[in-house]
Amino acid sequence: MRKNNVYIETYGCQMNVADTEIVLGILKKQGYEVTDKPENADVILLNTCSIRENAEQRIYGRIGNLKTLKYKNPGLVLGVLGCMAERLKKDLIDEKKVVDIVVGPDEYRSLPEYIDIAFNGDKGIGVKLSRTETYDDIEPHREDGLSAWISVMRGCDKFCTFCVVPYTRGRERSRSLQSIITELENLSLRGFKDVTLLGQNVNSYRDEHPDNEVDFADLLAAAAQVDRSMRIRFTTSHPQDLSDKLLYTIAEHPNLCNYIHLPVQSGSNRILELMNRTYTVEHYLNLIEKARKIIPGVSFSTDIISGFPTETWEDHLATIEVMKQVRYDGAYMFKYSPREGTKAFKMFDDVPEEVKSKRLQEIIDVQHQISFEKNQELIGTNEIILVEGLSKKSNNFIAGRTDTNKVVIVPVDEKIKIGDYVKVKINKATSGTLFGDYISHIEIAKEDVTVSV
Ligand code: SAH
Ligand code: SF4
Ligand code: F3S
C-alpha cells in the first residue's frame, strides 16, 4: 500500500517548531512519510499561532490559498493544529469549510485517529487541554543539523492580561529531567552543537521527586554536563522567577550561553500592574544589575508591547527610559493586539492605531541605535563563534554565532567547517551583524570545562 505523505507548515514561536517535530515523530511512527511539497501531500497541517491578530490573519490567508489544492485533490486532508486550533475550536471548521480537522497542542497523540476520521469523510476536532501531557516518551522527528529545540515544559500559569497562551496551551507542567537528558545525549551523538531548552516560563520548571525537587537551575547544570562542546540556551525567563541560583549556574558552566531573554513588556509600573506582570521596574533593573555582576559579559534581549490600554505618553517614555538604562542587545517589539478571552480584552483599547505605530517606531529606533552602539564597542575584541554555514548574503562569507547570540560574518577559509568553534577578531559592526577575521580554531572536548577567549 502506498504510504500517506504529510506536509506541515509551522507558525509562531519555537515551541511550535518543537511541537511540529513531535507531531512528525508521532505520524512517522504510524507510517507516514514527510514531504516538503504541499502538492504531493495527502495530509496538509498548519501548526498555528494566535498571539496577535495579524498572526491569525496570515493563517486565514494561507488556508485560503490551500483551497485550490483541495479542489484538485478532494481526498486531501487539511488540518489546523496549535494555538489557533485551541482558541477557535469548532468555529474554525464552521467558518472555513475546507478545514477537516482541528487539533490542539495537548491532543497530538490522537492526531492519527483524527486524520483517519477525515479520510473517512468526517470532520475531526480534538481540543482538550491536559494537566499532564508532556510528550516525554515521543521521539521528535529532527533533520540532522547543528541547532535543536527541546520543550522542557508546556503551558503557562502566569496569566499576563494581554496573553492568549494560558488559554491555548493550558496549565504549566514539566518533563522529567531524565527524559530531557536522554534527548540531549542523543543530540550530542548526532553532532548537534546548539540546543535551546524551551518553555513559556522556564524558571517555573520543576521535576518533583519524593526526596528532592529539581528546579530549572539543576536542569541546566545537568544539561551542561552532557557534552561540553554543545552550547545550551534557554527561553523564556519571567523576571519574577529568575533566581540567583540560576545566575550562578550560568556563570559556572562555560557552555551555558551568556544570554538571557528577559521580556520587560513595559517600563511603567502602572502598566506592568495592569498587565499582571507581577514585578516592578525597580525589581527588573536590580535583576539586570545582579546578573551583570554574576555573569560578566552577559547579553540581554527583551520583548516590548507598545500601546497597551491606557498607556500614556509618560508610560511610553518610561519604557524608552528602561531600554536606555538596560541597553539591550536585542528586542522583539510589538503593537498591542487585543485578544478575545483575555482580561485585557475587557479594557478599552484606547490608544489609537496611529499612536501605537508611532510609539512602536520610536521604540524600534531607540533599540536600533543601542544595538549599533553596543556592537561598535566590540570592534577590536576577540569572540568565539560556532560556525553555522555560509552567510545568507554571499557565498564568500561564512556565518557563526557568539554565545551571546550575535551573528558574526567571516571570510570563507578552507580551514573552517560547519560546526567548528573558531576565535575571530571583530573588525566591523552594524546594528544587526558583526564582521570579523579568523584567528584560530578552538578545540572543545566533550568533557572540557574551561574555555577562554
Ligand atoms: N512566555 C513569554 C512570551 C510569549 S509570547 C514571556 O512571558 O515572555 C511572546 C511575546 O509576544 C510576549 O512577550 C509579548 O511581548 C508579545 N505578546 C503577547 N501577547 C500579545 C498581545 N496581545 N499583543 C501584542 N504582543 C503580545
Ligand atoms: Fe503569556 Fe505571560 Fe505566560 Fe508569557 S508569561 S506566555 S506573556 S501569560
Ligand atoms: Fe503563538 Fe502559541 Fe507560541 S500563540 S507564540 S504559537 S504558544
Sign of CA dihedral 39, 43, 49, 50: positive
- State which ligand 1 atom lies nearest to the alpha carbon of 338: 22
Do 404 and 341 sit in the same domain of this protein?
no
Distance from the alpha carbon of residue 47 to the mean position of ligand 3, in angstroms: 10
Do 180 and 304 sit in the same domain of this protein?
yes
Do 216 and 330 sit in the same domain of this protein?
yes
Q: Taking the model in full, what pTM does it have?
A: 0.96
Residues 6+ apart with CB under 8 A from 144: 190, 191
Distance from the alpha carbon of residue 156 to the mean position of ligand 2, in angstroms: 6
Residue showing cell 566590540: 378
Which CATH number is 50's domain given?
Answer: 3.40.50.12160
Q: Is residue 367 part of a domain?
A: yes
337 lines ligand 1 (CB under 6 A): yes
Do 269 and 364 sit in the same domain of this protein?
yes
Angle at alpha carbon of residue 267, lines to 366 and 235, rounded to 5°:
85
Distance from the alpha carbon of residue 8 to the mean position of ligand 1, in angstroms: 24
Do 205 and 122 sit in the same domain of this protein?
no
Give the Å distances, CA to CA, from 278 to 270, 273, 349, 388, 450: 11, 7, 21, 38, 38
| Closest ligand relative to 334 C-alpha | 1
Q: What is the pLDDT of residue 453?
A: 54
200 lines ligand 1 (CB under 6 A): yes
Residues 6+ apart with CB under 8 A from 409: 391, 397, 398, 399, 433, 434, 435, 436
Instruction: Report the distance separating Cα 236 and Cα 264, nearest Å.
Output: 12
Count the residues in the chain.
453
For the chain, 453 residues long, the average pLDDT of each consecutive 10-residue run is 88 97 97 95 98 96 92 93 96 91 98 96 95 95 96 97 98 96 97 97 90 93 97 96 96 97 98 98 98 97 98 98 98 98 97 98 98 98 96 94 97 96 98 97 83 55
Instruction: Report the distance separating Cα 152 and Cα 145, nearest Å.
Output: 20
Distance from the alpha carbon of residue 42 to the mean position of ligand 2, in angstroms: 35
Do 274 and 403 sit in the same domain of this protein?
no
Which CATH number is 416's domain given?
Answer: 2.40.50.140
Give the Å distances, CA to CA, from 126 to 78, 108, 123: 14, 9, 10
DSSP 289: H
Q: Which of 61, 93, 126 is the last residue of a domain?
A: 126
- State which ligand 2 atom lies nearest to the alpha carbon of 159: 8
Q: Is residue 132 part of a domain?
A: no
Structure-block grid coordinates of residue 370: 543601542
Do 96 and 158 sit in the same domain of this protein?
no
Q: Is residue 41 part of a domain?
A: yes
Instruction: Report the distance separating Cα 194 and Cα 191, nearest Å.
Output: 10
Distance from the alpha carbon of residue 328 to the mean position of ligand 2, in angstroms: 20
Q: Which of 72, 91, 126 is the last residue of a domain?
A: 126
Q: What is the pLDDT of residue 446?
A: 87
Report which protein residue has its CA nearest ligand 2's atom 5: 158
Q: Which of 328, 359, 376 is the last residue of a domain?
A: 376
Sign of CA dihedral 316, 166, 262, 290: positive
Instruction: Report the distance separating Cα 82 and Cα 168, nearest Å.
Output: 8
Residue 153 in contact with residue 172, Cβ under 8 Å? Answer: yes
Do 211 and 280 sit in the same domain of this protein?
yes
Which CATH number is 189's domain given?
Answer: 3.80.30.20
Instruction: Report the distance separating Cα 168 and Cα 414, nearest Å.
Output: 48
Do 208 and 222 sit in the same domain of this protein?
yes
Number of domains making up the chain = 3
Q: Is residue 135 part of a domain?
A: no
Q: Which of 203, 334, 342, 343 for a ligand 1 pocket mutation test, highest count of atoms within 8 Å of Cβ?
A: 334
Range of the domain at 31: 5-126
Q: Which of 201, 265, 304, 342 for a ligand 2 pocket mutation test, highest count of atoms within 8 Å of Cβ?
A: 201
238 lines ligand 1 (CB under 6 A): yes
* DSSP conformation letters of 194-219: EEEEE-TTGGG-EEE-SS-EEEHHHH
Q: Is residue 141 part of a domain?
A: no
166 lines ligand 2 (CB under 6 A): yes
Q: Is residue 95 part of a domain?
A: yes
Report which protein residue has its CA nearest ligand 1's atom 2: 200
Instruction: Classify 368 as helix, strand or coil.
Output: helix
Instruction: Report the distance separating Cα 367 and Cα 320, nearest Å.
Output: 9
Structure confidence by residue, pLDDT tens digits, 141-151? 999 999 999 99
Do 80 and 19 sit in the same domain of this protein?
yes
Q: Is residue 137 part of a domain?
A: no
Do 287 and 406 sit in the same domain of this protein?
no
| Range list of H helices, 35-79 | 53-72
Q: What is the pLDDT of residue 16?
A: 97
Distance from the alpha carbon of residue 98 to the mean position of ligand 1, in angstroms: 30
Q: Which of 15, 163, 196 for a ligand 1 pocket mutation test, highest count of atoms within 8 Å of Cβ?
A: 163
Q: Is residue 140 part of a domain?
A: no
Q: For residue 113, what is the enclosing H or E element? A: helix 111-119
| Range list of H helices, 120-268 | 165-169, 177-189, 216-224, 244-252
163 lines ligand 2 (CB under 6 A): yes
Q: What is the pLDDT of residue 308?
A: 98
Do 302 and 425 sit in the same domain of this protein?
no
